[in-house]
């Protein structure tokens, strides 16, 4: 440490380091503050002077021409860098970021600039070994096996003393000893430290006499000893060309600060660290009180006595373990033992809500942003959809203008790759198209995706239209296009529909694969159902859907011939979807009853043709039994085939002339979706039982998996009743009807009327004894 420069080595996101930095800056009283961070942030650091920039926040830098190349520098309220920024802006001091510019990190690599021939595997470049953790090395030297606990005891739980600079001198000495052994150094660290030294020299040339440098403790030894200017210039000479870069502030969350969320300099317990930094005095009682409030809100029986005992236990554990104060480990042990009564489930709730937390920062409107981001912020305010880090459910009634607009916004954002809202199962269990349910959860990285989506337009609607058209032109499968049409209708993108429909028509005309056509039809039919609620013109959609349905009807039977087991299972799922789609197509399209009946008749004819395609000359000459049985079942359920004909077909399939494996597949297709018909028609169950009893031992082993899968898909009550019928036998006799109940007693029935009327909220009927008649 020199007489002009105070090197404050810190640990990123450490509350003890943050308190120490605040005390050191107050004592040192610098006239300039230099902070480890991207120099591009000098243009936006002034926004920290107001109260609208609320941590946790992050600096987001990205390449202007390729927003996917981006980097974040998060700061929480307990981050030492944030404390230094606030000190500088509050005291009107110049503050500069001195790390290597982000523009160098966004430069294309050599492999991206020129395509190289593929190298043999043994010559492939090996990844660099992960550098040793300096804190782990220091903890090991001090005789501790847990570096986090050691750092908490040495730094985070210590209050600043009389000399606020003394802790930084001790940390610098320890890091110098590590670096003297060459531990943890890398080429990138050398470049970063050379640039930091250049910025310190620049601050001296600018006339600043008392300079405070806030940087990672590992870099302090390299900044304390200044090599020659020529040495640093030579190191930096090999840097790539800068890339044009934009930078701004974005909201961040405590959850994203955690190591589990993927940020390398994060901490495992940001919520706990925030509590340590913001709480005066002993933090443990207050934190346990918050834990008790949380558990009580979740219906756990926690009293004040529990809190008192938990505090005592945490403090006792700290003494037994030789710690200066109870840390997070001791506190959580006390929570598990006392507040949660040994339950790890309740403890995980405390970990998630309090140890990590869902705090979301705020950014002022004056922060730089792409036009698309500003339009999204405007829509969020007008629709009263505030971004929140904690997941929450949102039910929308599309008959209301505001809810319909919210739905369009969420669907448009999903099209742009911003999964702020994800469709969820409604708690109302409504099957109508006027209701939607969403699960909302805002993530900080959405800022990067919004910057990427800005290439498609300056507003959310314009960008979604551009993205939809671009996706349609790049699509190669018909199902992808029909799904895109459905998304355009959900998102209200009338400007994209004509272009998407043209591509869809061209692709459908060229695609001859019936499986592709069958997979594409359901999405189009679902899209037609949104017309009434969303007020969209679906004339072109109805024509396209009807055309696809006609082609499926014509091509389905021959397309099912010769399929293997896996392909047959996939085709069965498509047949079920097409069957439901055709049932909805007529009413959703135009209300043309004649057209609807004609299409339904042609689909029934296709199913009849499929059901007749027996494998007379081997499996390759006919349709699999799974599909033939499914066709018969669909015809039976629609009333286009009576039970007598269904029984005759089952009898033929189960005859000795057919292969047992094909018969088992037929039964699986026939019973898929419900086995209650075996209970209503005992003859079908008798035929199945008779066939199964006659299957040979070797063949039975082959068909057993198919039969187990078939009956496992039936309802539990149906399986139980079938088992009872088989055990009781004989199966070809209908079960005896239940005995008739006794005659109704009018007097006893009238006595229950007032109670039932009260429960139903209706006017009670006057008893017959009072009037002689029912009124």
Query: Looking at the whole model, is its pTM more than 0.75?
Result: no
pLDDT at 192: 92
pLDDT at 591: 45
Average pLDDT over residues 743-754: 81
In the numeric block, the tokens 């003890």 are attached to 16
> Is residue 261 over pLDDT 70?
no
Contacting residues for 219 by C-beta, under 8 A, at least 6 apart: 9, 36, 189, 192, 193, 196
- Rounded Cα distance, 48 and 85, in Å: 7
Of 230-234, 313-317, 532-536, 606-610, minimum mean pLDDT range: 532-536
3-state secondary structure at position 52: coil
- Bigger pLDDT: 405 or 180? 405
Condensed to tens digits (0 to 9), the pLDDT of residues 213-222 reads 999 988 999 9
Of 66-80, 108-122, 164-178, 612-626, minimum mean pLDDT range: 108-122
Average pLDDT over residues 35-53: 92
> Is residue 40 over pLDDT 90?
yes
Q: Sheet with 211-216: list strands edge to edge.
A: 5-10, 211-216, 32-35, 95-97
Average pLDDT over residues 6-10: 92
CB distance 271 to 357 below 8 Å: yes
- The CA R_g of the chain, rounded to the nearest whole Å, is 36
pLDDT at 733: 56
Question: Do β-strands 211-216 and 5-10 pair in parallel, antiparallel, or remain unpaired?
Answer: parallel
pLDDT at 65: 86
> Is residue 79 over pLDDT 90?
yes
> Is residue 613 over pLDDT 50?
yes
> Is residue 169 over pLDDT 60?
yes
Average predicted confidence (pLDDT) for the chain:
82
Of 294-303, 515-524, 649-658, minimum mean pLDDT range: 649-658
- Bigger pLDDT: 251 or 590? 251
> Is residue 592 over pLDDT 60?
no
Question: Do β-strands 435-440 and 421-423 pair in parallel, antiparallel, or remain unpaired?
Answer: antiparallel
3-state secondary structure at position 746: helix
Q: Residues in the chain, how many? A: 775
Question: Do β-strands 32-35 and 95-97 pair in parallel, antiparallel, or remain unpaired?
Answer: parallel
pLDDT at 525: 81
pLDDT tier at 762 (50, 70, 90 boundaries)? confident
pLDDT at 280: 85
Condensed to tens digits (0 to 9), the pLDDT of residues 114-147 reads 444 333 333 333 334 445 667 777 777 777 777 7
Strand extents, DSSP E, 84-241:
95-97, 211-216
pLDDT at 294: 94
- Closest by CA to 557, choosing from 492, 620, 627, is 627
Q: How far is CA 763 from the centre of its chain?
A: 50
> Is residue 239 over pLDDT 50?
yes
> Is residue 391 over pLDDT 80?
yes
Condensed to tens digits (0 to 9), the pLDDT of residues 399-435 reads 899 999 999 999 999 999 999 999 987 666 555 567 8
- Closest by CA to 72, choosing from 241, 261, 239, 213, is 261
pLDDT tier at 590 (50, 70, 90 boundaries)? very low
> Is residue 531 over pLDDT 80?
no
- Rounded Cα distance, 515 and 534, in Å: 30
Strand extents, DSSP E, 163-240:
211-216
pLDDT at 127: 36
> Is residue 515 over pLDDT 60?
yes
pLDDT at 188: 86
Of 188-202, 423-437, 730-744, minimum mean pLDDT range: 730-744
pLDDT at 731: 62
Q: Sheet with 435-440: list strands edge to edge.
A: 392-397, 435-440, 421-423
pLDDT at 618: 60
Neighbouring-strand partners of residue 216: 10
- Bigger pLDDT: 19 or 748? 19
């Amino acid at each position: 440490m020199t007489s002009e420069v105070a090197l404050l080595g810190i640990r990123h996101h450490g509350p003890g380091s943050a308190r120490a930095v605040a005390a050191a800056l107050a004592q040192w009283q610098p006239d300039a503050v230099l902070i480890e961070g991207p120099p591009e942030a000098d243009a936006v650091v002034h926004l920290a002077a107001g109260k609208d920039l609320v941590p946790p926040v992050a600096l987001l830098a990205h390449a202007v021409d390729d927003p996917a190349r981006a980097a974040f520098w998060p700061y929480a309220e307990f981050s030492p860098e944030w404390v230094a920024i606030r000190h500088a802006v509050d005291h009107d001091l110049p503050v500069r970021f001195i790390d290597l510019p982000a523009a160098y990190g966004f430069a294309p690599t050599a492999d991206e600039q020129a395509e190289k021939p593929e190298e043999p595997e043994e010559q492939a470049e090996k990844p660099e070994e992960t550098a040793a953790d300096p804190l782990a090395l220091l903890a090991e030297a001090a005789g501790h096996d847990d570096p986090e606990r050691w750092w908490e005891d040495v730094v985070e739980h210590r209050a600043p003393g009389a000399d606020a600079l003394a802790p930084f001198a001790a940390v610098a000495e320890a890091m110098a000893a590590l670096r003297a052994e060459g531990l943890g150094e890398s080429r990138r660290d050398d470049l970063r430290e050379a640039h930091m030294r250049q910025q310190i020299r620049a601050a001296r040339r600018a006339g600043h006499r008392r300079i405070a440098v806030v940087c990672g403790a590992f870099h302090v030894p390299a900044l304390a000893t200044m090599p020659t200017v020529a040495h640093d210039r030579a190191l930096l000479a090999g840097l790539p060309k800068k890339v044009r870069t934009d930078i701004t502030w974005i909201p961040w969350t405590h959850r994203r600060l955690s190591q589990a969320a993927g940020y390398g300099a994060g901490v495992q317990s940001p919520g706990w660290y925030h509590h340590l930094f913001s709480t005066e005095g002993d933090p443990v009682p207050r934190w346990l009180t918050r834990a008790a409030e949380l558990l009580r809100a979740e219906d756990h029986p926690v009293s004040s006595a529990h809190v008192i005992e938990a505090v005592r236990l945490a403090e006792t554990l700290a003494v037994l373990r030789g710690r200066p104060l109870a840390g997070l480990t001791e506190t959580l042990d006390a929570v598990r033992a006392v507040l949660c009564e040994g339950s790890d489930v309740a403890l995980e709730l405390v970990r998630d809500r309090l140890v990590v937390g869902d705090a979301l920062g705020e950014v002022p409107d004056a922060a730089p942003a792409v036009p698309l981001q500003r339009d999204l912020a405007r829509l969020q305010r007008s629709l009263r959809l505030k971004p929140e880090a904690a997941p929450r459910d949102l039910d929308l009634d599309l008959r209301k203008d505001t809810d319909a607009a919210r739905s369009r916004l969420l669907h448009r954002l999903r099209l742009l790759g911003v999964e702020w809202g994800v469709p969820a199962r409604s708690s109302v269990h409504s099957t109508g198209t006027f209701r939607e349910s969403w699960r909302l959860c805002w993530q900080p990285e959405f800022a990067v995706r919004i910057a990427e989506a800005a290439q498609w337009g300056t507003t959310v609607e314009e960008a979604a239209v551009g993205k939809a058209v671009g996706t349609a032109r790049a699509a190669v499968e018909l199902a992808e296009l029909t799904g895109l049409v459905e998304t355009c209708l959900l998102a209200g993108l009338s400007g994209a529909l004509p272009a998407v429909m043209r591509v869809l028509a061209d692709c459908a005309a060229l695609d001859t694969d019936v499986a592709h056509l069958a997979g594409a039809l359901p999405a189009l039919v679902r899209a037609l159902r949104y017309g009434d609620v969303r007020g969209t013109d679906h004339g072109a959609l109805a024509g396209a859907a009807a055309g696809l349905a006609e082609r499926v009807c014509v091509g389905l039977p021959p397309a099912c011939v010769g399929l293997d087991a896996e392909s047959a299972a996939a085709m069965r799922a498509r047949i079920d979807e097409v069957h439901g789609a055709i049932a909805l197509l007529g009413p959703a399209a135009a209300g043309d009853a004649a057209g609807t009946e004609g299409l339904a008749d042609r689909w029934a004819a296709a199913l009849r043709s499929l059901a007749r395609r027996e494998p007379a000359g081997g499996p390759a000459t006919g349709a699999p039994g799974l599909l033939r049985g499914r066709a018969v079942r669909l015809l039976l359920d629609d009333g286009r085939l009576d039970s007598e004909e269904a029984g005759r077909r089952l009898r033929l399939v189960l005859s000795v002339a057919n292969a047992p494996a094909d018969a088992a597949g037929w039964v699986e297709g026939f019973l898929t979706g419900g086995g209650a018909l075996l209970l209503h028609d005992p003859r079908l169950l008798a035929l199945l039982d008779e066939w199964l009893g006659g299957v040979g031992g070797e063949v039975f082993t082959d068909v057993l998996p198919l039969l187990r899968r078939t009956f496992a898909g039936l309802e539990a009550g149906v399986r139980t009743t079938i088992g009872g019928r088989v055990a009781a036998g004989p199966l070809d006799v209908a079960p005896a009807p239940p005995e008739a109940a006794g005659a109704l007693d009018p007097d006893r029935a009238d006595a229950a009327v007032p109670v039932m009327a009260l429960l139903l909220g209706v006017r009670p009927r006057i008893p017959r004894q009072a009037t002689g008649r029912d009124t």
